[in-house]
Amino acid sequence: AFLDLTGPNEIEGMWKGSTILPCVYVPVEDFVQQTLMWTVVHDQSSGTIFRRDSSGDHILLSEYRDRVSVPKDAPGNVSLHILNLEVSDRGTYTCQVTWRASNNSLITKEMATKVEVVKVAVTKPVIRAGKLGLTVPAGARTSLTCVASGSPPISYRWFRSSPGRKAQLLSSQAELAWDSLRLSDAGTYYCEAENR
């Protein structure tokens, strides 16, 4: 139908993951989008999260700052992207769009989506072991990557172990990279993965 907003009635997002709340319409000639508002009603509170108007994009609720966005340059797609979902994000989200017609009259439509945030079964990280005895020519670039499954967020640490010496921490990233290998880089390396 004419300028109808479409999207699902309910969405399940993963705790600490990201989600998209779809809100889409088919643009109609002579109707220009004036304002877009995303509002939310939580158990305890409600408010306007996001507003787009002629002056730009505004994030009005501080708990969503740096976590929400709406696609730019995608006519008719006013979906809300949320990063790093918290359990407190659950609630009913409403997408409201106002258009101005060529005769200057305004038309407003809205659509609501219920959001549930689910926690996965909490699991310890399990590291997939790499091949032992990796041989790489001196001067080459190479990297070791730690791959672990388990409940996010997972933090990684790479160590180098030498017999009779304390292990040396080399990196707090999943990847340990060398631009140019030296003979002295030969040795035993291991990675640790940790979550809550």
108 shares a domain with 143: no
Residue 1 clears pLDDT 70, i.e. is over it: no
CATH of the domain at 53: 2.60.40.10
Specify the number of domains making up the chain: 2
Q: 115-170 pLDDT, tens per residue? A: 999 887 778 888 877 777 788 899 998 888 888 888 878 999 999 988 888 888 99
Q: 176-194 pLDDT, tens per residue? A: 999 999 999 998 999 999 9
109 shares a domain with 73: yes
104 shares a domain with 130: no
d(CA 153, CA 150): 9
Q: 36-74 pLDDT, tens per residue? A: 999 999 988 899 999 999 999 999 999 999 999 999 988
Contact 125, 146 (CB under 8 A): no
DSSP, collapsed to helix, strand or coil, labels residue 148 as strand
Range of the domain at 152: 126-195
90 shares a domain with 146: no
113 shares a domain with 80: yes
Length of the chain, in residues? 196
d(CA 157, CA 194): 9
